[in-house]
Amino acid sequence: MGFEELSLELTDEQKSLCDAVKKFCAEVWRPAAIELDKLSDPQDVIAPGSILWDVLGKSYRLGYHTMTIPKELGGMRPDGLTSALMLEHMGWAAADLAVSITASCVPFLYAPLSPDPEVQDLTRQFCEDREAKMIGCFAITEPEHGSDWWLLEMKYSIDQKSAPSLRAVLDGEEYVINGQKSSWISNGTIATHALLFICLDPSAGMYGGCGIAVIPLNYPGISRGKPLDKLGQRALNQGEIFFDNVRIPQANVICQDLASYYALTIANVSVANATIGSIFTGTAQAALDEALQYARDRLQGGKPIFNHQNVQLKLFDMFTSVEAARSLSRRVMVYNSITVPPASQYSAASKVFSTETAFRVASQAIQIFGGYGLSRDFHIEKIFRDARAAMIEDGVNETIALSAARNL
């Protein structure tokens, strides 16, 4: 990222940390993500000996897996602006790995809410992990339920027909869980722990009848599907998780009442959307960088195509769009990092605007590349596919917008 940094208030410590993140992700993450993207079988991405495990281990040793966990719990959570800067650099290097590493911490962020000391201690264990032995996932999407999880309080969500299919029935001091989570669970087939959304009362629908649990994924009755074979973000493992009469202690359910469920869900979607916003601001920057470099190198009509006004106008439009996304995503990250409850409509705006900017800028970049932009020999082709996936993950943009619009 060779443009002016407009956040003039950055401290030397912030600059040093971000330089380190940028260097590490450029040298380690990006080459690995490109290599993993080329594997035809997604099972090979997570196979023993895959470069993925080396990358995760190196990332854990730097503490990047704990960047959303507060320091008092053992994490490295920096201030909002530093978090945004780090995520931008990660998204610039490899959006798929950025999503994986940020999803990994989710169950451990909420484990301290359990009354059980053993569940609470999972956070400490995760923060001390330097070998990527503990990997988390955000287990919410189901075959018949995806973005509609975020339609809180709408008529649809209180209808019993909207009740999730993963059911948890209280039996003494344990819940018995049956059902499945879909193939879109990030880290789904490699995760050791999950933040698990469950249906406690089907008659109350999706909004009134749900709870959230933090569980290890080694209980009897839990199995996994095959890794998902998909268009973009191929270094991000995703896959199904099945539950067949799985018994979990009641203490693993961190919220069972409507008020707690609402607060945690809003917190979840706010953090997830703001995170995606910052990551794909970086991805948009990556697309612009690729196009700018190509425009300088490619000769046509006896001069670099950068000198043609049509190309200059495209590049300036891309530049303006990226800076707009950067401004919004950083402000949202800073504001919601110190605001309780978070302003979820702003997180949604960041997610929607930044992901659509990344896709549009990547599409314009391919237009500048011409036919070469369609070739897998050029990195812009991967950036384009990764950006396309972002407009669906963590909530389809249209549904995210509809949900957030209620708060306007």
pLDDT, position 349: 98
Peptide bond preceding 341 in cis form (omega within 30 of 0): yes
* 304: amino acid identity, one letter: P
pLDDT, mean of residues 62-90:
97
Q: Three-state secondary structure along the chain?
A: CCCCCCCCCCCHHHHHHHHHHHHHHHHHHHHHHHHHHCCCCHHHHCCCCCHHHHHHHHHHHCCHHHCCCCHHHCCCCCCHHHHHHHHHHHHHHCHHHHHHHHHHCHHHHHHHHCCCHHHHHHHHHHHHCCCCCCCEEEECCECCECHHHHCCCCHHHHCHHHCCCCEEEEECCEEEEEEEECCCCECCCCCCEEEEEEECCHHHHHHHCEEEEEEECCCCCEEECCCCCCCCCCCCCECCEEEEEEEEEHHHEEECCHHHHHHHHHHHHHHHHHHHHHHHHHHHHHHHHHHHHHHHHCEECCEEHHHCHHHHHHHHHHHHHHHHHHHHHHHHHHHHHCCCCCCHHHHHHHHHHHHHHHHHHHHHHHHHHHHHHHCCCCHHHHHHHHHHHHCCCCCCHHHHHHHHHCCC
pLDDT at position 152: 79
User: What is the pLDDT at residue 205?
Assistant: 85
Identify the band that residue 160 occupies on the pLDDT scale cut at 50, 70 and 90: confident
Token digits of residue 298 = 């490619």
Nearest to 89 by CA among 19, 33, 36, 31: 19
Mean pLDDT of 252-256: 95
What's the token pair of residue 83? 């978090």
**Cα angle 38-98-394, degrees, rounded to a multiple of 5:** 100
pLDDT in tens, 1-58: 456 788 888 999 999 999 999 999 999 999 999 999 999 999 999 999 999 999 999 9
The per-residue pLDDT for 2 is 53
Q: Looking at 124-138, 146-160, 260-274, which range is the least confident one?
A: 146-160
By the 8 A CB rule, do 105 and 68 touch?
yes
pLDDT at 313 over 80: yes
Is the model's pTM score more than 0.95? yes
Q: What is the CA radius of gyration of the chain?
A: 21
pLDDT of residue 41: 98
- Integer angstrom CA distances of residue 399 from 149, 182, 348, 352: 10, 18, 10, 10
The answer to whether the CB of 96 falls within 8 A of the CB of 87 is: no
Pick from 69-73, 265-269, 271-275, 370-374: least confident: 265-269
Q: Maximum distance among all alpha carbons in the chain?
A: 79
Domains in the chain (CATH in brackets) are 12-112 (1.10.540.10), 136-260 (2.40.110.10), 265-405 (1.20.140.10)
Q: Which amino acid is at 276?
A: I
Range with lowest mean pLDDT among 113-117, 256-260, 272-276, 351-355? 256-260
Contact (CB, 8 A) for 147 and 156:
no
pLDDT of 1: 43
